[in-house]
Chain A
Amino acid sequence: MAGRSKKKGTSGAAKNYITRTRAVKKLQISLPDFRRLCIFKGIYPREPRNKKKVSKGSTAATTFYYTKDIQYLLHEPLLAKFRDHKSVAKKIGRALGRGEAGDAARLEKNLMPKVKLDHIIKERYPTFVDALRDLDDALSMLFLFANLPSSEHIPAKTIALCQRLTREFEHYVITSHALRKSFLSIKGIYYQATIQGQDILWLVPYRFVQRTGGDIDFRIMGTFVEFYTTLLGFVNYRLYTSVGLVYPPKFNAKSDEQGGELAAFQLEGKANATNGTNDPMEDVEINPEAQAIADRLAAMPDAEEDDEVPNVTAAAMGDDDEEEATEGIDTFEPTAPDADVLPQPQASSAQIASLFAPFTFYLSRETPRTSLEFILKAFGCKRVGWDGILGDGAFTTNESDPAITHQIIDRPPLANGAPAPDVPENENGGAAAPRVQWPHSTMPGRTYVQPQWVWDCINQSKLMRPDLYAPGAELPPHLSPWVNAKKGEYDPNLPLEAQQPEGEAEAFEDDGDDDEEATFDVDGDEDMDAIIDREGSVEVGEGMDVADSDSEDDSDDSESEVAAEEFDGFESDAESDISEGEAGRIQHQRELEAEATGKKVEVVKPTRKEQNAAVRKKADKKRRQEEEERERQKMMLSNKKRKLLKRIEYGENKRDVESETLRRKRAKLEKAKAAAEAL
């Protein structure tokens, strides 16, 4: 007996997916609450493989969730919180309706349930590495919110929290030298840190007022921020404790008010935590002159550097140093030239920690202090000073401090070489130190560079030539450190000749010379003419219907143009030989004519253009041969594989076209440059 016939839609995909409406109904919450819940729990819609099976034949656009996800949500403690919240909101609404503001306030204060997301963090990220893996979006979002002004949608408290958390994170990155790369894009500054083997990439906007108009729903963003702040808090805690620091670090509100930013936090080692003596207030109240003297003293011997580390515990650093000595990676050099080269980690943390370590930087007031301070410190620089206008926490605010080795400048030098304004006398009466102030005067021995130098240095993990980045110099292009050019892709680092396929250079050159000449078409026609000529020559003996053959040739011509795109087998050498032979024949004919008339044969020297044409033609031919070979291979493919190949080739072709445009542009630019130089 056959089993009972199964009813449609009772198992499989139809049961595995659930529409949003049904999910909301099942959970008995409102849509905004559902949205919040989904954001917190990281639940996202799915695209079923077969939509028709899921939606019982209807093809209307619907959002589907995985049914099990929704089932898990049924037991979520947050659901109860949401319901409580709803009932309290009702009560408050009633109180407000009666005009009992006090009652409403009391209700809000006492009864409003507080949403805690701790358990969700643990649930979504069972291990710490999982959390790190998902930190990209969290950091980008929080850095954005840290830079937003408070508004009715975004309470100031949230912004303060975002600022605190992001700065704490930056402190960790500085301490652990986890920063690897950074990139100045037109969107903002990208940073990439590697923490516990996870690459974390985040984007920080430039410090401008963000445009928040339009259709941006800050409730959604707010929900994300709520989750991300919790996440980053826990991550920070774990990161701090993992390097032996106390979390949360001490926060100096006063310094923060004065624009201390990073300096407003004071990290403490676990051992120091109880002592808590090092009050950052001291730094602020130091007499500038005394500070200057102290700085000078401090800067003179390099060996005393470590003393300058005010906040980071010596113990932690000591550990790091030891590790570097013993556990650093050795570079493997292949002994024989034919061996494979294995990829090795590029920059060890030791290298990173020491890139800027010997230098003292001074940031001019037009430079982006926050990002520079962060990067410089993350790459080992202990002493970063800046103009007092940029905020609290500088190593020095005195530009003429002799300890400064590098000054970062983003202003062009004065064109007319204006003299320095009169140095205002100190209160002490004597000009104790020479006052230098860019651009009026420079300090001898100090390196003046533009900010891009810092970024290029860290991306190359070596110090770049500062003269390329001198103030007012035309900067070399700033390249993204994340692009690895694949085969056939354009790479701006390499010279153009190295990446051009054969014959392209000549084609570009001709393009520049003469745009009307459609090079490829002309080529094809020539070939066809050659073939036709040859046919004519074959027929000479017969001579039956010449007129007819002429007309045939014409039609042949037109037809072959149509068919030019189609597969033509592979070109045999014979044809081109013949066409070359044709040229030779013409040449010979000319010689004979010249001989007959008694003139001297003029040797036609190939012009440059002709040479180009020849080279190009050769390259063209080769390319066409390759193409034909490929077509021939394609003929033997099965239909399925052919389609697959088509799909793959689509992307490849697009990439090829892109890189070809880039090469063309570059060739043009280089040519223009050469022309300008020649002039």
Chain B
Amino acid sequence: MPVNTRKRKVVTRPVPESSDSEGELADGLLEGILSHSEDESEDSQEEDVETDASSVIEGLSDEDEEDEEDTFESDEKRIREQIRNLNTSDGADGDLDEQDEDLKPNYTVTTDARGNVRYLYKEIDPVYESDDSDAEATNTIGNIPLTYYDEYPHIGYDINGKKIMRPAKGEALDALLDSIDIPKGWTGLTDPQTGKPLNLSEEELDVLKRLTRNEVVEDGYDPYPEMVAYFSGRQEIMPLSAAPEPKRRFVPSKHEAKRVMKIVKAIREGRIKPYKAPTEEEEEEQVYFDVWADEKPRPEHSMHIPAPKLPPPGYEASYHPPPEYLPDKAEEQAWLEQDAEDREKEFLPKNFDALRKVPGYETFVKERFERSLDLYLAPRVRRNRLNIDPESLLPKLPDPEELKPFPTTCAAIYRGQEGRVRCVSVDPQGIFVASGGDDGFVRIWELLTGRQVWNARLSDEEAVDTVQWRPTKDASILAAATGESIYLIVPFTLLSPDVEQASREVLDAGWGYAASKPPTSANSEAPKLPPGKWSRPGTRLENKGVLVLIEVRSAVKVINWHRRGDYFASVSPRGQSTAVAIHTVSKHLTQLPFRRLKGIAQTAQFHPSKAIFFVATRNTIRSYDLAKQELVKILQPGAKWISSIDVHPGGDNIIVGTYDKRLLWHDLDLSNKPYKTLRFHKEAIRAVKFHQGGLPLFADASDDGSLQIFHGKVVGDLMENATIVPLKVLRGHKVKSRLGAMDLDWHAREPWCVSAGADGTVRLWC
């Protein structure tokens, strides 16, 4: 135990010291719990210390192991003694103090002989933890940095309040250790057999050294001694054997002679040639035979792609081609300037007037080489040749001559409108054309001459969005809409008196009805505003012939008459529930057929023969049975935004124009998807119209300023689909602020159509 403390004192640096003390404390605790031999724990602690304090020389650390063994030799002992002497704290005092401490807890204070206080301790109860005897004298300064004591000669206080002096510094120790010489032959190793330290003698060390240097271990050993020739050609004076030479050494060998004779005989007979001339490289020639003697055709593997043959040469490859195949200067220049890879032909055609003048072809070998590269290196792929006659792809269209008549040229231009012409309508007689535009005027033109015969300003600020003639010939009534007002007009200046009379009667019939009816309507729907208010527009307009004004709740964009002329439908896309209204002329009544409409209504139209009503919203077209009051069909043209629709006079087909540039043909019998989709316009389609007078024609008007005329024949036979043939593009309207042709209408009988343009003109095409 004291040895250990001493050893600890070897450590010179202060930091290890503190760790030391800590270790000590830990040790003390451990002591109480586990009755381990202290040596071991002490040891491990020591090793820690040593790894920290690398300044300790190796010799000393080895020493520690030895004193565990407790096999001190005399030298060793001496060293230890000296080291012990260096210790500053005297062990005896410490021991005493420790003992005192041990007695502390149960003592009685008395005065001893020297007059000091004396503690009389009770008997120790020898419980397990009670023995504290081997607790060591420790520094009691607590857990504070040792640097606080740097300037003092001591490093703290022991349990009795005595100063613990600073141990000797490293330099002093080093000096001491230097003065001590390590015993001779000391290796620091332990002999595993005896367990004692292994000491080696000088000789043994020398042997080891030689071994490590790959030298001969033994002194005086000669690895290369002089050779002594025991058996040599030298005649010794005393032979090894005294036997006489045998006879066979002097007599020629019979056996050999026999063998020689054998060879001689063979040579004589020519079996052996004495000199064989080195044979020339006689290579066995390739032996050809009939490989295909038993040929069996093998079906070609489906994945096999035979190498394509090189094409035969054309005229231009001739040495003397026809002169037109020779390149002119520009072509030659272009060929020369091109990269070799980009050239379409690998050679320039050249002309030589005689065969003797033809030079060798420079890149012959190269071309062959490239061909062989292609054969083994080029990936092969089977490409299907398009061996189709392009004519067969094109559909057989009827000859346009057969499809005549249809409008081809612009026959008249009606000028005079200011701003865009938004709508146009040809009267059922085919004499007048009504148009309305941004200037708020409704104008009536003579169809053939283009003369303006009537006009009326319906609104100062709002444009006339739609005009539509009543489709009967007995009376001549024009419906026009501007903003939220719908006007019914009888342009009486243009009409014969009886027609005028008939027209006025048609319109006036309702006044009486409206006058008689109101009570009932007022009774039932008193709080509700009527969907349309029928009134007289005022004298100024009445003098012109504008006889009825219907005011609805939102701006009307489209008006379409029923074929009998008693009803007309108006569509105002803005008004949600009032979007579609049906007006009865004879009763001056406005009804809203749909309480709630899905989507924004774009246009509405009556079926030409049945009581069916078509309403187009942005994406779909719904047909309603007016008699049964139910939905019949929903068509889905697949368009993003429908602009207009028109129903074929037969009633089974609908054409739909869309703002996304498509013209769709729906066959109601087929499906709710379009039968044909025609995309020939570059801009949105504004209006589509069937010819109503029996000609198989329809047309569309687009923002690109053009009208396209199609032949669309519908056969009564259900088995046969409609034939649609594009006929004519009519250009003429100019595109103004991305608007071209705004509306179109067909003449009632003739193949003429009238179009309204954003450029302020109305054009007649025939």
Contact = CB atoms under 8 A, between A and B. Distances in A.
A616 B84 CA distance: 134
Interface of B: 284, 286, 288-292, 295-298, 303, 305-307, 309-310, 312-315, 317-325, 328, 347, 349-350, 352-356, 358-369, 371-373, 375-381, 386, 388, 390, 393-395, 397, 400, 408-413, 415-416, 449-451, 678, 680, 709, 724-731, 734
A217 B397 contact: no
B680 to A, nearest CB: 6
A44 B360 contact: no
Contacts of B349: 186
Contact of A478 (B321, B323, B709): B321
Contacts of B298: 126-127
A492 to B, nearest CB: 4
Interface centre among B305, B397, B731 (most CB of A within 10 A): B731
Nearest to A482: B312
A483 interface: yes
Contacts of B378: 44-45
B413 A183 contact: no
B295 A636 contact: no
Interface residues of A, number: 121
A498 interface: no
B290 A241 contact: yes
A630 B349 CA distance: 36
A247 B288 contact: yes
A131 interface: yes
B356 A644 contact: no
A545 B413 CA distance: 12
Contact of A45 (B317, B328, B377, B410): B377
Contact of A669 (B314, B324, B352, B413): B324
A187 B313 contact: yes
B314 A492 contact: no
A662 B679 CA distance: 39
Contacts of A483: 312, 314-315
B361 A122 contact: no
A187 B373 CA distance: 19
A187 B347 contact: yes
13 contacts: A183-B313, A186-B319, A186-B361, A187-B347, A224-B375, A475-B354, A478-B318, A480-B314, A535-B410, A542-B451, A567-B680, A648-B390, A666-B324
Dominant SS at the B interface? loop
A655 interface: no
A368 B355 contact: yes
B303 A210 contact: no
Interface stretch (A93-101, A134-142, A418-426, A512-520): A134-142
B288 A47 contact: no
A117 to B, nearest CB: 9
Contacts of A574: 408-409
A535 B413 contact: yes
Contact of A569 (B320, B394, B727): B727
B386 A137 contact: no
A479 interface: yes
A201 B408 CA distance: 59
Contacts of A192: 312
Contacts of A35: 376
A64 B318 contact: no
Contacts of B410: 535, 538
A151 B691 CA distance: 87
Contacts of A575: 409
Contacts of B680: 567, 635
Contacts of B347: 186-187
A12 to B, nearest CB: 14
A555 interface: yes
Contacts of A271: none
Contacts of B678: 635
A136 B306 CA distance: 13
B571 to A, nearest CB: 32
A168 to B, nearest CB: 10
A227 to B, nearest CB: 10
Contacts of B395: 633, 636-637
Contacts of A212: 365
Contacts of B726: 569, 632, 635-636
B449 to A, nearest CB: 7
Contact of B728 (A217, A452, A478, A569): A569
Contact of A128 (B295, B362, B411, B729): B295
Nearest to B325: A662
A192 B289 CA distance: 26
Given A208-B359, A234-B291, A483-B314, 12 more contacts: A46-B303, A66-B303, A137-B371, A141-B372, A183-B312, A477-B322, A492-B322, A572-B409, A632-B726, A636-B724, A648-B386, A648-B388
A411 B297 contact: no
Contacts of B325: 492, 662
Interface string A535-549: 100110110110000
Given A238-B290, A644-B393, A185 B318 contact: yes
Contacts of B724: 636
A206 B416 contact: no
Contact of A475 (B306, B320, B377, B734): B320
Nearest to B386: A648
B673 to A, nearest CB: 15
A479 B410 CA distance: 56
Contact of B390 (A39, A206, A535, A649): A649
Nearest to A64: B379
A211 interface: yes
A210 B364 CA distance: 7
Given A186-B318, A216-B366, A224-B372, A127 B324 contact: no
A274 B610 CA distance: 106
Contact of A184 (B318, B350, B359, B371): B318
Given A475-B320, A492-B315, A641-B393, A45 B365 contact: no
Contacts of A321: none
A131 B292 contact: yes
Contact of B318 (A148, A183, A411, A560): A183
Given A128-B295, A572-B408, A136 B318 contact: no
Contact of B315 (A475, A480, A635): A480
Contacts of A669: 323-324
Given A201-B309, A636-B725, A128 B292 contact: yes
Given A410-B355, A572-B408, A575-B409, A567 B729 contact: yes
A38 interface: yes
A662 B306 CA distance: 34
Given A126-B295, A666-B324, A144 B728 contact: no
Contacts of A121: 291
Counting from the closest, the 3 A-B pairs by CB-CB distance are A208-B360, A482-B312, A47-B381
A516 B345 CA distance: 31
A30 to B, nearest CB: 16
Contact of A221 (B297, B372, B709): B372
Contacts of A128: 292, 295
B297 A126 contact: yes
A645 interface: yes
B497 to A, nearest CB: 29
Contacts of B409: 572, 574-575
A538 B397 contact: no
A215 to B, nearest CB: 8
A185 B203 CA distance: 101
A307 interface: no
Contacts of B397: 632-633, 636
Contact of A237 (B290, B317, B376, B408): B290
B288 A237 contact: yes
A354 interface: no
B390 A44 contact: no
A588 B165 CA distance: 146
A239 to B, nearest CB: 11
A46 B317 CA distance: 31
A183 to B, nearest CB: 6
